[in-house]
């Protein structure tokens, strides 16, 4: 679908894949809203994106994805400024080497990579429905996998940043599958993407090896953004929902990511965490 004169909300757009996505969609005539933890960086990103795209319809708004209260405040502010939402791109993500907790006392990777987009999306669903046809794009990862550890989802007993990251991206994919079912007939589609291994600051808190890996082997953010842009805009995907894409094409995901019974159980657990 064309995004010209449409409203697009992107998380994690001050750098990397999110920023590259914002530049492309702004160049296509979209109004871009950047949900930013650091408003100063957000305003600088707006200036950079404006320079790169020639767009003047850009706005940065404060939203700390490690805080449920900040997410709720952001959604309230968004509603006060905008009456439509045509594309929501849950792009932001983190990967920690050592276990740390969010503002709500929840393991940070689980909170930011999964619970935050779960809450943000649910709080804005009515606007997405009102603005239909509309699209949700969840940035997952080819590293999604393992299982959801319902007994210890926060790694309190034993923590591994790699395991926590894989679980969070699996959770996001399960959320995508189930939300697609729940939104059937609403005019809102939701799909997940794997951007590939991209040279971003994702591994900044994940230790030397991760930083080196992402910097040395990662492709450019511009290339990494292509699948998000494709899924957000392609007319060929009108009505396509609940799918997983990589390299701008449908991709094979793990068997666990297709288990809707697990997705239902995870939804109930997430709703309890975020008090929905």
Catalytic residue ranges: 165
Tokens of 256: 């666990």
Residues, the chain:
276
Taking CA atoms, 105 is separated from 10, 66, 112, 244, 268, in Å, by: 25, 9, 12, 31, 19
**In whole angstroms, what is the distance from residue 245 CA to residue 249 CA?**
5
Dihedrals phi, psi of 253, to nearest 5 degrees: -110, 175
Q: How far apart are CA 48 and CA 71, in angstroms?
A: 25
Distances (CA, A) of 248 to 201, 223, 230: 23, 11, 6
Supply 28's token pair: 């296509």
For residues 136 and 8, what is the distance between their CA atoms, to the nearest angstrom? 10
CA-to-CA distance for 189 and 100, rounded, in angstroms? Answer: 33
Separation of alpha carbons 180 and 240, rounded Å: 9
Residue closest to 50 by CA, chosen among 16, 79, 74, 26: 26
* Radius of gyration over every alpha carbon of the chain, rounded to an integer in angstroms: 17
Tokens of 237: 């995907």
175 contacts 228 by C-beta, under 8 angstroms: no
């Amino acid at each position: 679908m064309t995004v010209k004169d449409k409203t697009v909300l992107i998380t994690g757009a001050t750098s990397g894949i999110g920023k590259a996505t914002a530049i492309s969609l702004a160049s296509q005539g979209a109004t871009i809203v950047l949900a930013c933890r650091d408003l100063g960086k957000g305003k600088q990103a707006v200036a950079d994106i404006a320079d790169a795209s020639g767009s003047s319809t850009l706005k940065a708004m404060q939203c700390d994805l490690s805080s449920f209260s900040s997410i709720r405040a952001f959604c309230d502010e968004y509603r006060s400024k905008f009456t439509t939402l045509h594309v929501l791109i849950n792009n932001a993500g983190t990967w920690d080497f050592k276990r740390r907790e969010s503002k709500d006392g929840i393991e940070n990777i689980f909170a930011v990579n999964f619970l935050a987009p779960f809450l943000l999306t649910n709080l804005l669903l009515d606007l997405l429905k009102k603005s239909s046809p509309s699209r949700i794009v969840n940035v997952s990862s080819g590293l999604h996998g393992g299982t959801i550890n319902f007994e210890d989802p926060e790694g309190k007993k034993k923590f591994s940043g790699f395991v926590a990251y894989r679980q969070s991206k699996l959770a996001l994919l399960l959320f995508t599958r189930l939300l697609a079912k729940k939104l059937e007939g609403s005019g809102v589609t939701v799909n997940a993407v794997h951007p590939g291994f991209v040279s971003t600051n994702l591994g900044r808190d994940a230790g030397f090896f991760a930083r080196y890996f992402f910097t040395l082997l990662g492709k450019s953010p511009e290339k990494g953004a292509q699948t998000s842009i494709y899924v957000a805009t392609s007319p060929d995907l009108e009505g396509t929902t609940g799918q997983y894409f990589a390299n701008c094409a449908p991709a094979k995901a793990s068997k666990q990511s297709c288990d809707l019974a697990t997705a239902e159980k995870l939804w109930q657990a997430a709703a309890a965490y975020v008090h929905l």
